């Protein structure tokens, strides 16, 4: 199910579906009145579009003080074949994806048929005159995806879920997700955070350069060569350091106190079949071997022997164990994906299962090189990403206490339009929005482009994403870094991150170099060839918008 917040500028994208839509429930006396209200709600940024397979619905509402979602309007595509039950299921999933307490709405009782009334009552709604309400029922699972050294991100998500008081009783994990699942059973967030923030490669793997410095590309490549040579010579690097760490960390008494169930995915050799193990807290010695097995990324790491069979990383068969959670009765799956290598099953959850995917647009470093500073940053990113998902903060690449850039964007565009500035012609052009969506990494509406452009300036300048920014402090940081032209990364990078960094700094037409060049220009010659203008459009507009932000809200 895909949920999208709607803006007036999106209307052309969904115009045909909206035109043929009709009321799902009698909120208004007519469909035309319902559509007019929905248009107004979209202008107020209180409208959403939900699509699942071929079914599309529009809804409007707000979250009440008691965490119920008050539904004000509800339209569905009348040309799609769907039952009332399917429509209600989409509404219920929408609420459970946000962990609302329940769904509430008021309908025009004169338009409500006896059949519809009985149907709502049969589906668990309580009625008080014209007000209907139903509490959401939860059986939630935390699904921890494999990803090696990037796993600290998942502990950050757990920290945020605790702060938000979002419970879950089922944990499924693959590879590092299994290890983090074990830490969650210990219920000691502080200890888990400290473990990750002090974890280095030599505490996990045993090879000659495991403890070597890796904060430069040549040093990182030397360390990777050492690991590769050891793995080839010894059929996988020894995981004895990891096994010792596991034995020291997991306490049976604390484990037994946990009310959560952990399910671990591993891969059995030589047939590469999937093996799911229900973590037995009462048999901790054996259970810890399964944790080690799930994280044995063969051939880089040795396989783990259990009862005469050999097991390796569960990511070879099931890196995203959503199906395991659903089999155990989960109706909500919070999937924490750190983009590690592995096989993702082709699995479609049942219609009644709500899925929440939490991942970072940032690359999280190497999955085999453990670095305390990088883990600390990844943990922070997981924490902030979760709080953004639940609307405590805003932003995509960065985290902001409140949204302020879009108001400034509207004023910036108003001035351009008033002066008939050539830059306004670029902003109006479809090619600009296509390019912006590609560069930014997600769809951008005109109403939210201010935030997107501000964030892109930070990305191109390597401003760190692990703080909660205010608009003024972020722009001050952009100005400082663009003046000094010194990036801020200080943690271990992966090979791909190093190559990207070199490209951005050394190649004249890289996004970073172009952005910095346009920042330094006083005005811009817009008589460029069209093909060149289309390729440079996002860099040009971002630079001009940043100049406007640097000056502040001055009088023309």
Q: Which residues are catalytic?
A: 175, 313
Q: Degrees (nearest 5) of the Cα angle 257, 263, 266?
A: 135
Report the b/e string of 140-166 with b at 16+ CB within 10 A. Answer: bbbbbbbbbbbbbbbbbbbbbbeeeeb
Report the b/e string of 345-365 with b at 16+ CB within 10 A. Answer: eeeebeeebbbbebbbebebb
Torsion of CA 224, 226, 228, 234, to 10 degrees: -150
CA distance 315 to 303: 13
Q: Which two tokens stand for residue 460?
A: 């191109």
131-135 vs 126-128, strand pairing mode: antiparallel
CA distance 108 to 37: 14
Give the number of C-alpha atoms closer than 13 A to the C-alpha of residue 547, restricted to the C-beta side.
Answer: 16
CA distance 547 to 534: 21
CA distance 406 to 447: 7
Torsion of CA 186, 187, 188, 189, to 10 degrees: 130
CA distance 107 to 28: 7
Are the CB atoms for 265 and 227 separated by under 8 Å?
no
Give the number of C-alpha atoms closer than 13 A to the C-alpha of residue 123, restricted to the C-beta side.
Answer: 19
Torsion of CA 147, 148, 149, 155, to 10 degrees: 70
Closest by alpha carbon to 201, among 180, 183, 229, 226?
A: 226
């Amino acid at each position: 199910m895909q949920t999208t917040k709607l803006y007036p500028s999106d209307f052309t994208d969904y115009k045909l579906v909206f035109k043929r839509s009709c009321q799902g429930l009698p909120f208004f006396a007519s469909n035309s009145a319902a559509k007019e209200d929905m248009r107004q709600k979209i202008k107020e940024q209180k409208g959403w579009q939900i699509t699942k397979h071929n079914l599309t619905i529009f809804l409007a509402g707000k979250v009440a003080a008691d965490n119920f979602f008050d539904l004000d309007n509800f339209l569905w595509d009348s040309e799609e074949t769907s039952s009332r039950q399917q429509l209600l299921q989409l509404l219920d999933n929408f609420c459970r994806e946000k962990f609302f307490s329940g769904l509430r709405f008021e309908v025009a009782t004169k338009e409500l048929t006896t059949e519809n009334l009985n149907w709502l009552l049969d589906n668990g709604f309580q009625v008080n005159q014209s007000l209907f309400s139903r509490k959401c029922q939860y059986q939630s699972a935390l699904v921890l995806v494999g990803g090696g050294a990037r796993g600290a991100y998942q502990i950050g998500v757990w920290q945020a879920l605790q702060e938000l008081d979002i419970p879950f009783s089922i944990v499924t994990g693959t590879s590092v997700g299994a290890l983090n699942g074990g830490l969650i059973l210990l219920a000691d967030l502080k200890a888990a955070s400290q473990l990750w923030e002090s974890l280095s490669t030599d505490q996990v793997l045993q090879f000659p350069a495991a403890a070597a410095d890796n904060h430069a590309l040549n040093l990182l490549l030397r360390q990777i060569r050492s690991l590769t040579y050891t793995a080839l010579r010894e059929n996988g690097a020894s995981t004895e350091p990891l096994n010792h760490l596991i034995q020291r960390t997991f306490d049976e008494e604390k484990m037994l106190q946990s009310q959560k169930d952990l399910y671990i995915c591993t891969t059995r050799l030589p047939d590469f079949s999937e093996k799911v193990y229900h973590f037995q807290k009462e048999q901790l010695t054996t259970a810890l071997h399964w944790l080690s097995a799930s994280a044995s990324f063969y051939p880089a790491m040795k396989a783990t022997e259990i009862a005469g069979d050999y097991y390796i990383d569960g990511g070879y068969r099931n890196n995203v164990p959503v199906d395991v959670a659903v089999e155990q009765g989960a109706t909500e799956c919070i999937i924490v994906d750190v983009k590690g290598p592995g096989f993702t099953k082709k699995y479609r959850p049942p219609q009644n299962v709500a899925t929440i995917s939490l991942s970072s647009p940032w690359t999280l470093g190497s999955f085999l090189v453990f670095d305390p500073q990088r883990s600390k940053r990844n943990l922070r990113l997981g924490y902030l990403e979760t709080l953004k998902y639940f609307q405590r903060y805003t932003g995509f690449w960065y985290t902001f206490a409140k949204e302020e850039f879009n108001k400034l964007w509207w004023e910036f565009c108003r001035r351009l339009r008033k002066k008939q500035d050539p830059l306004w012609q670029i902003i109006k052009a479809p090619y600009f929005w296509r390019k912006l969506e590609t560069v930014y990494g997600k769809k951008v509406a005109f109403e939210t482009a201010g935030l997107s452009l501000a964030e892109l300036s930070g990305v191109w300048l390597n401003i760190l994403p692990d703080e909660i920014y205010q608009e003024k402090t972020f722009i001050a940081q952009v100005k400082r870094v663009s003046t000094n032209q010194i990036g801020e990364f200080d943690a271990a990078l992966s090979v791909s991150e190093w190559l990207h960094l070199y490209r951005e700094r050394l190649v004249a037409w890289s996004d970073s170099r172009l952005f910095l060049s346009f920042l330094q220009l006083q005005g811009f010659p817009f008589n460029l060839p069209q093909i060149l203008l289309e390729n440079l459009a996002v860099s040009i507009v971002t630079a001009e918008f940043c100049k406007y932000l640097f000056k502040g809200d001055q009088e023309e």
